[in-house]
Each structure stands twice: as C-alpha cells, then as structure tokens.
C-alpha cells in the first residue's frame, strides 16, 4: 500500500530481445526487403549473371543509410561563430537589450535571439566580471553567421551585432578575425559584416523557396559550441510571429538554441534557404519550433546593405488591418482578401491618390493582395519613387488608382495592425459602452463620440475598446452623439446585419472594429 492508501499499478518492464531473436527479426526484415527487390526475378532470364549483379547493386542502394555528411562537408567551412562586446551603460543587462530588439520579438529573444554566450570564464551567461575601465559595463555574447563571398562579407542577425563595441568571428578552422559592421536592418533583423582577407569559403543564397516537408540542415554556434549541425524539415512557411510588418518566416524543426542566431539553414543541395532568428520555447531550449528569415528577403536586404549600408523601402502612408470575416460581412464582401485602410496619413501618397478610410486595397499592379501583411511586404520590397497601380474597393465599387511610392520614414511603417481581437461566431448582446460627444470631453477633439466607460464583461471590451477611444463612424456614417450611434446600430439590425463596422481612434492609431449584433 502506498501512503495514500492506493495500490500502485503493476509496472511492466520493457521486453528485451535475445540476441538470437534480434538476429531473426533482422533477417526477417532483410528477407522482406529482398522479396521486394527480387520479385521481378520471375521474369525470363532473371538468373543471368548481369541481372543478378544489377539486383545486388539495387539492394545495396536501398539498404545504404541516408546521411548528410557530403552536404555538411561542403557548407560547414563557410559558417562562422560571431562574438561581440557591447557597452551596456551604467547597468549590466542582457545582450541586445530590448532597445535593440524588435518589440514583437523581445519574448523570443529573451529565450533565444539575444545569444548571451556559452562557456565563459568571466561569468555566467556570457557576462563579464563587472564594470570595466572608467566605470563602463560590458556585455559579451555569441551568435552565428556565414560568408556569402570570398572577400569576407558575411550575414548575421541585427540583434547579434546591434550596438556592438567590437565584433570578432571564429572560422570553422579556428581562426579568430576582427569584423566590421557594414550595415543593419532592424525591421528584418539582418546585418552585414565584413572581415579583411580573401579566398574565404562561402555559400550561396537559394533561388528556390523550400516546400513544407523538405529536409533542412541548421549549422551554427549554439551555447558557444561552434560548428554544430542539426537536421529537420520545413514545418511551415509564411509565419507571422508579431515581429513587424515584414514577417514571413520559415518554420523549421531542426534543433536550434541560444547562439544559433544569424546562422544559416541549408537545403539538401547546400543552398541557404533561411537565416535562423528565433525559437519559441517555454523552457528556453529547442522544442522543435524555430523561425528563419527566407533567402529571398535576405537577398533584397543584404544587397542594399552592401551598396549603401542601409535599407530604403516604398511607402504609401496608410494604417491597414486584416479583413476579418466580420468586417467582410459588414462591407458586403464574399472573401476576406485584401487590406482594409483604417486611415490614410495626411500628405501621404495614398491620401494624394484619393484613398480613404474604409477602402479595401485588393491588388498591386494587377496582382491580388492576400491580406494586410501581404500588402505591407510587397510595398516595402519596392523602391521609393516607383509607380504602382492599386486596385481599390471604394464603397462597394472597384477602381484603380495610380500613385508614386514615397520612402518609408524611420518612424513609420506600412504595417498590418496586430490589434485584432475579434471573436468570430460570437452572439453577445450588450456592447458595454458608455458614450459622450467628443466636444464635451477635454482633450478629445471635436469630432466623434468618446468612450467614457467600458463594461469589462461586454462585447466591446472583448474587441479592444478602452476608455478614451473615439468612435468616428458607425456603419459607414459619421457620428457625433450617442443618439446617432444608437440610430446606426438600430439601422444595422433592421437591415439584417450581423455585425456593425466602427471606425475608432485609440491613442494615435485608427482602426476599424466589427462588433457582433447579438440582440437589441
């Protein structure tokens, strides 16, 4: 009896096969394999010496173990370990502190992306022993990278070298070299560095996007253990993990850990298909979910960094958000394709071309736009001053607008909003809002209706409404009083609408929210 008074279950020991049984089993398996190969031998002349020799060759080929040694031997010399020293200011903080990490990736990089070193005699987690000369504090860390040309250009992550006082690389044959940061791009978390010299082994960025299920190899410097190779498959493509407007990650299950940041992922032909940048892990170690920046993005960004040390992107100047099923229903759309314009920025190319709030951008130069993220990525990949034609759905009518792209300012992004908190299919009654005319609430301006209170159990709270939000439109019509809001809600219900679309300003951002009309 156990202390709890319960009888423990009987545990069964794993069965152990005797040597004889193991051999028999192996022979049976081999026999089955031979049966598969030898079956065609019933054909005429099947026992000729030439035919028998051919069968032997086929059997050897089938039974030969599959490995990646040839690929590794080819690509591994081009992969480098990257070690940096960062002046962390008056306080010693983790490498690449949050100022150097895209906001959406801070949680990932606390576990993986800001490699804080491996074995280090100066202290735990790659940190130095404390303040250096003059009271300055330094943090050291390790990442990975790879040469892309024989003259010493190499790719790594921005968060690996961001704010680095010095950068050193260790080659596969153990040479330690000083590197210079040529340029960085925080929006895609890529960086280009260079070491002096020539005849460096290098690898090429892949021309073909991998397929889900393809074998891949990750090579890097996990936990300071340089030259580590792991294998897996492509688990998914086009992943958006909330890092920014240009998310388009390849998800792989090859084990990668702290220190793999900036390292390459290869296909079975030895081409780089992605740059490892983040993992998701409750434990801090690999659980088979890693994310790599696709090679086509790397090509575009690195070419600009090499040419001018920075990246410029096209800009149309709109706040956009996804077309959810509820929003599509409110607009009378059959599909959720396209990007909904929450608000065009004053003086932007979009505003000058006549794009208005509530428009849905459906195509760019004749090619359909899948969603808001697709639009942001495609516009961002174009050069400023490029002329484009946008297919726009405006108040139920399709039209084509021509505009010239501006240059994306450092403080702005053509970003897809990540603030969607819709509850598809919900049938909730009360909106749970208390409203007042904007003109009666100090600091709220003169337009719209201000939310003065939000019922935490109401549908509006579930859709992200907060005290201080300003509602400009309900059902496509401007509102200035709570009575006008009630009127538009009533008209939407009487018209058979299941949802009502509101244009709302929250803080400095404007967005559309589709609220379910459960009951009056």
Reading the block at residue 434, the tokens are 């208390």
Please confirm, yes or no, whether 387 is among the known catalytic residues. Answer: no
Please confirm, yes or no, whether 394 is among the known catalytic residues. Answer: no
Pairing between β-strand 127-131 and β-strand 264-266 as defined by DSSP bridges = unpaired
CA distances from 93 to 23, 89, 159, 243, 446 (A): 58, 9, 14, 22, 45
Paired with 190 in beta bridges are 157, 185
Paired with 153 in beta bridges are 194
Which of 144, 159, 162, 469 does the annotation list as catalytic? 159
Radius of gyration of the chain (CA): 30
CB 112 within 8 A of CB 98: no
Which of 189, 253, 359, 371 does the annotation list as catalytic? 189
Burial of 478 (0-12, 13-18, 19+ CB in 10 A): middle
The C-alpha angle with vertex 416 and arms to 210 and 314, in degrees rounded to 5, equals 80
- State how far the Cα of 488 lies from the Cα of 499, in Å rounded to an integer: 11
Please confirm, yes or no, whether 261 is among the known catalytic residues. Answer: yes
* Side-chain half-sphere CA neighbours of 139 within 13 A: 24
Helix, coil or strand: residue 238: strand
Which of 144, 261, 330, 363 does the annotation list as catalytic? 261
Helix, coil or strand: residue 298: helix
Burial of 69 (0-12, 13-18, 19+ CB in 10 A): exposed
- State how far the Cα of 395 lies from the Cα of 331, in Å rounded to an integer: 8
| Catalytic center residues | 159, 189, 261
């Amino acid at each position: 009896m156990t202390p709890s008074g319960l009888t423990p279950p009987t545990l069964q020991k794993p069965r152990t096969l005797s040597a004889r049984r193991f051999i028999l089993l192996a022979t049976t398996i081999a026999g089955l394999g031979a049966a598969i190969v030898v079956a065609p031998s019933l054909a005429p002349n099947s026992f000729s010496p030439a035919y028998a020799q051919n069968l032997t060759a086929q059997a050897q080929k089938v039974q030969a173990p599959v490995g990646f040694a040839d690929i590794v031997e080819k690509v591994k010399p081009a992969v480098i370990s990257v070690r940096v020293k960062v002046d962390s200011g008056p306080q010693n903080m983790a490498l690449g502190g949050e100022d150097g990490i895209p906001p959406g990736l801070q949680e990932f990089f606390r576990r993986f992306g800001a490699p804080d070193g491996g074995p280090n005699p100066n202290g735990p987690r790659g940190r130095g022993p404390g303040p250096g000369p003059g009271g300055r504090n330094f943090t050291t860390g390790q990442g990975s990278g790879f040469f892309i040309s024989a003259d010493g250009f190499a790719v790594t992550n921005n968060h690996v070298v961001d704010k680095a006082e010095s950068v050193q690389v260790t080659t596969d044959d153990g040479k330690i070299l000083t590197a210079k940061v040529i340029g960085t791009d925080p929006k895609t978390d890529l960086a280009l560095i260079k070491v002096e010299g020539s005849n460096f082994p290098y690898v090429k960025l892949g021309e073909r996007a991998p397929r889900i299920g393809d074998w891949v190899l990750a090579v890097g410097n996990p936990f300071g253990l340089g030259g580590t190779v792991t294998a897996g498959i492509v688990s998914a493509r086009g992943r958006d993990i909330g890092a920014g407007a240009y998310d388009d990650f390849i998800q792989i299950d090859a084990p990668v850990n702290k220190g793999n940041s900036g390292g390459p992922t290869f296909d079975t032909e030895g081409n780089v298909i992605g740059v490892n940048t983040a993992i998701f892990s409750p434990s801090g170690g690999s659980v088979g979910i890693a994310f790599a920046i696709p090679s086509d993005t790397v090509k575009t960004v690195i070419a600009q960094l090499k040419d001018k040390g920075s990246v410029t992107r096209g800009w149309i100047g709109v706040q956009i958000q996804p077309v959810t099923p509820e929003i599509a229903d409110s607009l009378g759309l059959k599909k959720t394709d396209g990007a909904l314009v929450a608000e065009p920025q004053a003086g932007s190319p979009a505003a000058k071309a006549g794009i208005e709030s509530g428009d849905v951008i459906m195509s760019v130069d004749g090619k359909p736009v899948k969603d808001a993220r697709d639009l942001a990525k495609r516009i961002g990949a174009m050069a400023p001053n490029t002329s484009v034609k946008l297919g726009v759905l405006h108040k139920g009518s399709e039209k084509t607008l021509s505009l010239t792209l501006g240059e994306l300012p450092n403080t702005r992004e053509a970003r897809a909003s990540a603030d969607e908190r819709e509850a598809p299919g919900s049938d909730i009654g009360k909106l749970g809002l208390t409203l007042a005319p904007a003109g009666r609430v100090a600091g709220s301006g003169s337009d719209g209706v201000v939310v003065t209170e939000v019922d935490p159990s109401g549908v509006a709270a579930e859709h992200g409404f907060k005290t201080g939000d300003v509602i400009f439109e309900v059902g496509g019509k401007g509102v200035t009083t709570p009575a006008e809001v009630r009127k538009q809600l009533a008209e939407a219900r009487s018209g058979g609408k299941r949802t009502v679309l509101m244009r709302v300003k929250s803080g400095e951002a404007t967005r559309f929210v589709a609220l379910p009309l459960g009951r009056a």
